Amino acid sequence: MQKFNLPSLYLRLAIGSSYLWEVADRLGLLGKNGEPHVGWGDWSHFVAATAQVMHFIPLSWAPFFAVMATLGEGSFGILLIVGLFTRYAAVGSGILAFCFAVSMAISSGIDSPLGYSVFTLSAASFLLATIPAYRWSLDSLISAKL
């Protein structure tokens, strides 16, 4: 079990912080659109990017999917960092990232999700879900008290 302690913590923090970073970007917390190291910079640019990536669905659905992606990323990010419902959050993260990767591949070609390591994020999330226990997590504190 000990061999999984640091890798599982690293996976939780890496995946969770990546999701929260992206949420912060689309909410404008990292700067304005066009500034260095800012991807979207505001909600409207993120919704436009969502519509572009998901061009195969009706344009009117883009705001819904933008909200769902943001809620998913924000929730999974927080849950993974604190280690609460870790296995479920990891599976959800893996599914969400896989959906992103497929959407990116459909809209921009396979080089886009490969270049942005979205399949890697999905695989890492699924790997995290297979780890038997999560030391240094709320899950471990809760199970210790039971």
pLDDT tens sequence for the chain (146 residues): 689 999 999 999 999 999 999 999 999 999 999 999 999 999 999 999 999 999 999 999 999 999 999 999 999 999 999 999 999 999 999 999 999 999 999 999 999 999 999 999 999 999 999 999 999 999 999 999 87
Q: How many domains does the chain have?
A: 1
Q: What is the pLDDT of residue 11?
A: 98
Q: Which domain holds residue 48?
A: 2-145
> Looking only at Cα atoms, what is the longest distance across the chain?
50
Q: What is the pLDDT of residue 146?
A: 77
> Rounded to an integer, what distance in angstroms lies between the CA atom of residue 67 and that of residue 88?
20
The residue with tokens 């994020």 is: 121
Considering only CA atoms, which of 132, 136, 21, 31 is closest in space to residue 82?
Answer: 136
* Secondary structure letter of residue 31 according to DSSP: -
Considering only CA atoms, which of 92, 91, 90, 116 is closest in space to residue 103?
Answer: 116
* Both tokens assigned to 141: 């504190």
